[in-house]
């Protein structure tokens, strides 16, 4: 779809349509203001990789996500990180508790994840050794 042909109301609807699924809200929240690879989202959200990839594609098609390749990993990041603030504002506005919103935005490293960010945070020594030997 060519976004240039869309009117402002259509553009805004398109953004909300892209967000309009719990899985995609979870994915956006998981990426947050940083970046995440598919293996991280898979470990965090307990969803199948094919399903996550499909959701990522929809978010990307709507212009909400960018990608960055680093070796064998593809990292996803929000094109506009402030979108996270807006999602939080919507949550607060409609009575979702701060604790619940905080849980949604969990950024703890995952022991069962193989992405470079989690490995580096959980075991800095391991990354040093890998970098030296590779």
Task: Tokens for 130, please give them.
Answer: 């890998």
Candidate residues 18, 29, 30, 40; the one interacting with Zn ion per rule CB under 5 A: 40
Within 13 Å, how many C-alpha atoms sit on residue 17's CB side? 10
Backbone φ, ψ for residue 63 (5° rounding): 85, 15
**Alpha carbons 79 and 66: distance in angstroms, whole number:** 6
Euclidean distance between CA atoms 104 and 130, whole angstroms = 32
- Separation of alpha carbons 33 and 78, rounded Å: 7
Show Cβ contacts of residue 108 under 8 Å, excluding neighbours closer than 6 positions: none
Span of 34-42, 65-73, 77-85, 96-104 interacting with Zn ion by CB under 5 A: 34-42
Smallest separation (angstroms) from Zn ion to the CB of 36: 7
* Residue placing its CB nearer to Zn ion in the complex, 18 or 115: 115
Q: Candidates 47-55, 71-79, 80-88, 107-115 — which segment interacts with Zn ion by CB under 5 A?
A: 107-115
Least Cβ distance, residue 45 to Zn ion (angstroms)? 11
Check binding of 118 to Zn ion (CB under 5 A). Answer: yes
Nearer to Zn ion, 19 or 37 (CB): 37
Q: Smaller CB distance to Zn ion: residue 18 or 118?
A: 118
- What Cα–Cα distance (Å) separates residue 129 from each residue in 40, 107, 125, 134? 22, 25, 6, 9
The stretch among 7-15, 16-24, 33-41, 84-92 that binds Zn ion (CB under 5 A) is 33-41
Q: Which residues bind Zn ion (CB under 5 A)?
A: 40, 113, 115, 118
């Amino acid at each position: 779809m060519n976004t240039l042909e869309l009117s402002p109301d259509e553009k805004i609807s398109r953004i909300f349509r892209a967000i309009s699924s719990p899985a995609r809200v979870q994915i956006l929240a998981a990426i947050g203001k940083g970046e995440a690879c598919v293996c991280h989202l898979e470990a965090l959200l307990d969803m199948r990789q094919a399903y996550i990839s499909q959701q990522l594609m929809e978010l990307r098609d709507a212009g909400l996500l960018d990608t960055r390749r680093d070796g064998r990993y593809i990292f996803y990041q929000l094109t506009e990180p402030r979108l996270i603030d807006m999602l939080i504002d919507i949550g607060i506005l409609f009575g979702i508790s701060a604790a619940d919103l905080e849980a949604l935005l969990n950024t703890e490293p995952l022991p069962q994840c193989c992405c470079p960010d989690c490995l580096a945070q959980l075991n800095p020594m391991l990354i040093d050794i890998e970098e030296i030997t590779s």
